[in-house]
Amino acid sequence: MRIGFVGTGIMGRPMARRLQKAGHQLFIVRHRAAPPQELLDAGAVLVESATGLAEASDVVFTMVPDTAAVEDALFREQGVAAGLSPGKVVVDMSSISPSASKVFAERIRRLGCEYLDAPVSGGDMGARDGTLSIMVGGDRDAYERVKPLFDVVGRTVTLVGGAGAGQLCKVANQMIVGINIAAVSEALVLASKAGLDPVQVREALLGGFASSRILEVHGQRMIDRAFKPGGRIELHQKDLGLALAEAEQLGVATPMTTVCRDLMDACAAQGGAGWDHSALIRAYELLADHQLSPV
């Protein structure tokens, strides 16, 4: 297929590369930064505008940081929408407001095209390995058309409902991920300050009911102080803000999400907006006046 891809950063670049390797023709555009040379060397076509990208493509993907960036990519002058013709599909894989996603879907459908919101979970590792979990909202026929492309970049692909449903599912995902990062941070700092070796504590916990992907991957990052971002604190702040906004609209109590967002805010206030979200442990270390370290 002829695929347009807007947003080739930490997540978008490896996703776009996997689509190339699967034999699809890739069209990219400069978006906030120079396009990755790796994609160009592999045959990607660099076009002058998002409008030109949409004109050249059957399916257009967006993978950008937030709601405002998606709206800009789609609807600005020389944006994606201006280059669409009936029958094309727009797939937003960013993590944005569920309510805004419904509005964007309606605007794209008025052009005779389909819109899928398809945010992902799995981080940069999942993007590289093609093991992302993809949560999709939108029309089933459009989903079935794009499913072979989803299967290239994801291991678990689920149509969870209509427009906006994928984004709401991602909000729930980020609540669970953030709260689990907080739980692992809290437990490891407690054990470490008590004099236990966090390396051994993590190994012991991985063998029991407390085992989780967060403990496995982010627990190791905490021990190694490996906070180069896969998923940045500032993006998780944004996602938890979306969760709290949806919860307020629905009248749902979210005390743990609220605390987790406060801890993310504390990290950002210490200059950590660009840290990996596993660096949430630094907020706990500050409160405990103790830095995690192997014995």
Confidence of residue 293 (pLDDT cuts 50, 70, 90): confident
Parallel, antiparallel or unpaired: strands 120-121 and 132-137: antiparallel
pLDDT tens by residue, 48-91: 999 999 999 999 999 999 999 999 999 999 999 999 999 999 99
Which residue segments constitute the domains of the chain, with CATH numbers given? Answer: 2-162 (3.40.50.720), 169-288 (1.10.1040.10)
161 φ/ψ angles, rounded to the nearest 5 degrees:
160, -165
Confidence of residue 34 (pLDDT cuts 50, 70, 90): confident
164 φ/ψ angles, rounded to the nearest 5 degrees:
90, -15
User: Is 0.75 topped by the overall pTM?
Assistant: yes
What's the rounded mean pLDDT across residues 222-246? 92
Contact criterion met (CB below 8 Å) for 45 and 27: yes
What's the rounded mean pLDDT across residues 12-16? 96
Active site residues per annotation: 170
| Distance (Å, whole) CA 149 – CA 151 | 5
Q: Is 283 exposed, middle or buried (0-12, 13-18, 19+ CB in 10 A)?
A: buried
Parallel, antiparallel or unpaired: strands 89-92 and 114-117: parallel
Q: How far is CA 122 from the centre of its chain?
A: 8
Confidence of residue 229 (pLDDT cuts 50, 70, 90): confident
Please state, for a pLDDT cut of 70, what percent of the chain lies above it: 99
